[in-house]
Structure 1
Amino acid sequence: MSFFKKLRESVSKTTETVTHKFMSGLSKTSSSLVGAMDAVFTRNKIDEELYEELEDILIGADVGVDTTMEIVDRLRQEVKERRIKDPAELKPLMSEILVELLQGDDGETVVNVQEGALTIFLFVGVNGVGKTTTIGKLAHHYKQQGKKVLLAAGDTFRAGAIEQLEVWGERVGVDVIRHQAGSDPAAVMYDAVQAAKARGCDILLCDTAGRLQNKVNLMEELKKVHRVIGREVPDAPHESLLVLDATTGQNAMQQAKMFNDATNLTGIVLTKMDGTAKGGIALAIRRELEVPVKWIGLGEKMDDLQPFDAEQFVHALFGKDIEAEVAEG
């Protein structure tokens, strides 16, 4: 077998695996959201009642009122411009609109990894959303790519958080920079950055506290951490990622707004997407905050945290196999 044939088969197998993960992980949202839409798309005609039903379905899937209005308005406009009469033609059109909305003006979502230099990721979010687990899975992801990874236990408010990160460090096979519980998180970050530089690390993944009992203190603490990292490595952190539990729906949107004000988020990690039928929150966050979703949790396995892909996401919702479409095209 030629090298190029092996390469094509390898790429094809990887694409199939990722497509399957998206379709499997988003099955609850797909059956709820698109299942309800299918009933609308089989109506006899496109009328005001059809648009109102679509609005109810989207809002019910946590897409949010403003984002829902924009989607339906764009659908109306496209129907008018393309002179569409058959409701069955709305399904691929809706798919097209959702992909464009998720991609935003930037197009493809890219994670900002510095080639040949230290890349620092700062993770924020409330307790219980899967922040530490996300960090562990990303450590595994980058180690699999041959990168040297280091973890920083910046959630010094909870001793359990430090221990949990150390468990992940042992599991993945990467070191953790830690201080004692109650220490200054900024001091942990300073030591972690120095250690990452000294050891020639490629990736530094930084955990932070997620307590909300005193929002003012937490946000000031995050700003300080941000300043310390930026002082030691210009333009860092290269990614400030907010981890959100997709099952909390619109509550996740409120958290996103709060953290975005404090840390200038570069992206969102949506965890537990496989556990919700209301995955429309991804659309609401992308449009209302103008912050891209960069990673998505589609299950509990180590490799179930996947880079977010708008086309994979939407095609998984609508039950389409991207490879089949590409082959046909």
Structure 2
Amino acid sequence: MNLFDRIREGLSKTRKALGGSLGGLFGSFSRADEAFFEELEETLILADLGVETSLRVTEELRERIRTQKLKGAEEIREELKSILTEMLETGDRAPRLGTRPSVILVIGVNGVGKTTTIGKLGSLLKAQGRRVLFCAADTFRAAAADQLEIWAKRSGIDIVRQHEGADPAAVVFDSISAAKARGTDVILCDTAGRLHNKQNLMMELNKISRIIDRELPGADRETLLVLDATTGQNGLVQARQFKEAAGVTGIVLTKLDGTAKGGIVIAVADALKIPVKYIGVGERIEDLVEFDPRAFVDALL
């Protein structure tokens, strides 16, 4: 199954909901009047693009129809695809992993699929020929390291862990030491998801960052925020808070196969101007894929 087919399969619930509505809208299309734009806006909002983004899309489409003198349903539909694709082309989606080792910090609240994402991402990077090391720096959640160890065994990836309640920065230090000794390409670092207030989150991540800066000066680093697509607009609220607190460089959207509101991907990219780098489109280990805006919009519509 190629990338497009995997994304298409994972977006089946959203496509059925959004595609059905848009299919009816364009199927009965006669002209781009107010009734058309109102129905389009409502359809986009129901797909979880959010009010602001949906308004922006409809206004941009309205302007392009006017300036390009678009008339037919198919050319208007293609222009809608172009607008959505452009909204998703935010920043550099390629992970910065040029140094050995590079570091990926994975952050997000509990329950979004953070540890599972690390397992799948580790497998993806390994398949690309990189040597990966898991760092179990979520020492607060019971059995977080155990869960990551299961993924490590499943993927054939080394893991560094300590006891529950250990200092996360100490686990990061041990992981860097191990990575240097083993010639590791990428350290994939799990972090705590229950640091509810911004100050605690900042303190913990700053402590980890100081260790990385001291032990790996100049190393490439990504901070990936994992969001659960099924939480919709609540995920967008989380993303805003983490962006302010943690210097997020990319978004990973999980559980897209479990929602009929996959438009949240567009809402997040449009609102935060942070690139979506990976999406989760199923439960299999290979169902975390690098994000491709055009393939996503094509699969969506």
1:179 is aligned to 162
Q: Distance in 2 between matches of 1:216 and 1:278?
A: 32
Deviation sequence 1:267-309 (CA, Å, 0-9, x none): 0000000111101111111111110100000101111100000
**Aligned partner of 2:76: which letter?**
L
1:33 is aligned to 18
- Give TM-score, length-normalised by structure 2: 0.95
- Pairing 1:118–2:101 present: yes
Divergent runs of 4+, >4 A: 212-215
Q: Distance in 2 between matches of 1:237 and 1:147?
A: 15
User: How far off its partner does 1:236 sit?
Assistant: 4.3
Tell me the secondary structure at the aligned position of residue 189 of structure 1.
Answer: helix
Q: Distance in 2 between matches of 1:52 and 1:283?
A: 19
Q: Distance in 1 between matches of 2:77 and 2:69?
A: 15
Structure 2 vs 1, CA of residues 275 and 137 (structure 1 numbering), >3 Å: closer, same or farther? same
- Pairing 1:146–2:132 present: no
Q: Distance in 2 between matches of 1:197 and 1:46?
A: 61
Say which is worse superposed, 284-293 or 210-219, in terms of deviation.
Answer: 210-219
**Aligned partner of 1:218: which letter?**
L
User: How far off its partner does 1:181 sit?
Assistant: 0.9
Q: Distance in 2 between matches of 1:19 and 1:87?
A: 24
Q: State the superposition RMSD in angstroms.
A: 1.5
Report matched runs for 1:65-80 at 5 Å.
65-80=51-66
User: How far off its partner does 1:94 sit?
Assistant: 0.6
Q: Distance in 2 between matches of 1:125 and 1:242?
A: 6
Q: Size of the alignment, in residue pairs?
A: 300
Contact 1:226 1:263 in 2 (8 A): no
- Pairing 1:280–2:266 present: no
1:244 is aligned to 227
Q: Distance in 2 between matches of 1:87 and 1:276?
A: 28
Say which is worse superposed, 24-33 or 122-131, in terms of deviation.
Answer: 24-33
Structure 2 vs 1, CA of residues 58 and 235 (structure 1 numbering), >3 Å: closer, same or farther? farther
Report matched runs for 1:1-329 at 5 Å.
17-41=2-26, 42-104=28-90, 106=91, 109-114=93-98, 117-236=100-219, 238-318=221-301
Say which is worse superposed, 276-285 or 229-238, in terms of deviation.
Answer: 229-238
Tell me the secondary structure at the aligned position of residue 244 of structure 1.
Answer: strand
User: How far off its partner does 1:111 sit?
Assistant: 1.6
Deviation sequence 1:64-111 (CA, Å, 0-9, x none): 12211211111011100111223343211111111111013x4x6212
Contact 2:135 2:175 in 1 (8 A): yes
Tell me the secondary structure at the aligned position of residue 166 of structure 1.
Answer: helix
Tell me the secondary structure at the aligned position of residue 159 of structure 1.
Answer: coil
Tell me the secondary structure at the aligned position of residue 192 of structure 1.
Answer: helix
Contact 2:229 2:264 in 1 (8 A): yes
Q: Distance in 1 between matches of 2:205 and 2:191?
A: 8
Segments of structure 1 that go 5 or more residues without pairing to the other structure are: 1-15, 319-329
User: How far off its partner does 1:213 sit?
Assistant: 4.5
Q: Distance in 1 between matches of 2:81 and 2:12?
A: 16
Contact 1:64 1:281 in 2 (8 A): yes
Say which is worse superposed, 23-32 or 83-92, in terms of deviation.
Answer: 83-92
**Aligned partner of 1:111: which letter?**
P
Tell me the secondary structure at the aligned position of residue 154 of structure 2.
Answer: helix
Structure 2 vs 1, CA of residues 237 and 160 (structure 1 numbering), >3 Å: closer, same or farther? farther
Q: Distance in 2 between matches of 1:60 and 1:132?
A: 30
Contact 2:107 2:114 in 1 (8 A): yes
Segments of structure 2 that go 5 or more residues without pairing to the other structure are: none
User: How far off its partner does 1:237 sit?
Assistant: 5.6
- Give TM-score, length-normalised by structure 1: 0.87
Deviation sequence 1:31-66 (CA, Å, 0-9, x none): 111221122222221101111111111111111122
Tell me the secondary structure at the aligned position of residue 303 of structure 1.
Answer: coil
